Amino acid sequence: MLLEPLIKDFVSEFRTLLHVELYNTAGLRHELVSYLDGALSLENYGVQVERKATAVVLEPYEAVSQEAILDIYIFERAGKGQFCIQVMAVSSPDQGSWAEASKNIRFLEELSAHGFRETGFFFAYQQPGQHLEIELIFQRSEPSYSMVWQELTPASHDSKGPWMYCFIQPGTVVPANKNT
């Protein structure tokens, strides 16, 4: 299973559902879980929401906080494959948003290093009146990350303006001293 094509298909479907309005992270997480329940073979995969990391990490390690939560946890029913998607939706991103996003990505790197087959950070943001290319923001952060995929065409729209999406996967780190 690959997470990126699932996310792209979700955004494509989201674009065609005109009645869906996105308000916050919980709403986006709910819509994504509903989509995954239909897109994945439930005979082969299980999908859980807000699962404690300490309950599912295969290898015990101290780096995971007792409070750490996996937003969307996907697991193989017959096997040990584990997958995680952290979700964040913000209207008018600010410095606090970027710090929280970087924290999510570092958490996903820890999960990948300790047995998770694939992880990803699904980020939705709204900038009324402008299209913000967040790739530049993540490349200027420390450490710096490159985008696996970024949707620059609005995939949904509400009264405040268009929602844009990107998907970042750990392992796509670019050198911190890269000039942008």
| DSSP calls for 106-169 | HHHHHHHHTT-SEEEEEEEEE-TTS---HHHHHHHSSSEE--SEEEEEEEEEETTEEEEEEEE-
Q: What is the pLDDT of residue 176?
A: 37
Q: Which residues contact 117 (CB under 8 A, 6 or more apart)?
A: 81, 82, 83
Q: What is the pLDDT of residue 116?
A: 87
Q: What is the pLDDT of residue 152?
A: 56
Q: What is the pLDDT of residue 128?
A: 56
pTM of structure: 0.80
pLDDT-flagged residues of the chain (< 70): 1, 18-21, 58-66, 127-161, 171-180
